[in-house]
Amino acid sequence: MTTTPLPDHNLPEQPARRGLLGGAALALAGLLLRPGAALAATANAAYVNIVEFAGNGRRLRVVKLPPVVKPDETWRAQLSPLAYQVTRHEGTERAFSGKYAESNDKGIYHCICCDTALFSSATKFDSGTGWPSFWQPIAKENIIQREDHSYFMVRTTVSCRRCAAHLGHVFDDGPEPTGLRYCMNSVALRLAPLTA
Strands 155-160, 117-120: pairing kind: unpaired
Pick the catalytic residue from 111, 113, 160, 183: 183
CATH class given for the domain over 20-193: mainly beta
Distance of CA 24 to the CA centre of its chain: 25
Average pLDDT over residues 60-85: 97
For 10, 80, 104, the CA distances from 184, given in Å and listed in that order, are 21, 17, 15
H or E element: which one contains 42?
helix 37-43
137 or 15, which is more confident: 137
111 given a catalytic annotation: no
pLDDT at 1 over 70: no
For residue 169, pLDDT beyond 90:
yes
The whole-chain average pLDDT of the chain stands at 83
pLDDT higher than 70, residue 13: no
Instruction: Judge whether residue 148 has pLDDT over 90.
Output: no
| Residue 45 backbone dihedrals phi, psi, to 5 degrees | -90, 140
Considering only residues 7 and 174, tell me which one the structure prediction assigns the higher pLDDT.
174
More confident residue, 35 or 5: 35
